Structure 1
């Protein structure tokens, strides 16, 4: 995703593989990497809900770069990156579900699955966190 190497519909349409170039999640814009992971209404709702859970306000573009540049503790930055990476993964999975199964699960389903994925990864590392970070993590319900 970071290298824009995923086979989005705009690429597939140019290769003659896809009959159209419209986003499988919203159906109104060209499915490019930027649209799919930053601009799509479906994706933005998932990302915005995760931001609300993490108690942060995200920018409209390049969320991972924005998180990386924050002056947060290393553990907090890693947790937020993990949460948004899980969102991106499940957005892609929902997009593939829409492509293969011809139905699109609600954004709440993608958010729930992203939270579960992030929780599993974070719980592996949670015993190594300081008390302040652990308290914040418990307040946003991304551990145990």
Structure 2
């Protein structure tokens, strides 16, 4: 049985003198959810679009990891295709896998930050860096999550894993190039000097 409540009649809202519009009707019908605290990190204009999308999927825990596929009865082996040790889950791939931890440590050393990847979202909002540096580091971390997803796929299909050093250099190069195209004229001297050291 379907129940619905009335909101408008004859192109007028029942409890208002305003005219009904499709946009207002959509807002009335849709489920209003609170905004997530990682939205600015995910949809930052410095991110590559593919990185933002894969990060968004990761934050919703919708990667097709082997543990999920095993629960659906599609695969039997749940080991990580990168390190071949632990059961492969979202958490393992990004936070626990030896390969991912090595990549993140190299990124920390290269960019000079100390927080863990688990604390990326709060740090992005309140970190003790200039806004530009927080955006740059956040974009590199989002790109790293994309690269881990990509390397997981390559390891599963071709049994090939790129060296962490090569991945980190590629991430920094991509984000730096994208940043310089967009913001080279508005850089403060402190930020310009920091970027040149990377």
What range is the shorter-chain TM-score in?
A: 0.7 to 0.9
TM-score in terms of structure 2 length: 0.64
Kindly provide the CA deviation profile for residues 83-113 of structure 1, in whole angstroms up to 9, marking residues without a partner as x.
1111111111111100111222222232233
Structure 2 distance, partners of 1:66, 1:52, is 20
**Which of 131, 137, 142 is the aligned partner of 2:189?**
131
Question: Do 1:9 and 1:31's aligned partners in 2 also have CA atoms closer than 8 Å?
Answer: yes
Determine which structure has more spread, i.e. the larger CA radius of gyration: 2
CA shift at 1:125, angstroms? 2.9
Structure 2 distance, partners of 1:87, 1:96, is 14
**Which of 102, 107, 125 is the aligned partner of 1:50?**
107
Give matches, 1:109-128, under 5 Å: 109-127=166-184, 128=186
TM-score in terms of structure 1 length: 0.86
Alignment match, 2:32: none
Structure 2 runs not aligned, ≥5 long: 1-57
CA shift at 1:66, angstroms? 4.2
Root mean square deviation, CA, Å: 1.7
Pick 1 or 2: higher relative contact order, CA cutoff 8 A, min separation 6. Answer: 2
**Which of 61, 80, 83 is the aligned partner of 1:26?**
83
**1:14 paired to 2:68:** no
Cα gap change, 1:48/1:66 in structure 2, threshold over 3 Å: closer, same or farther?
farther
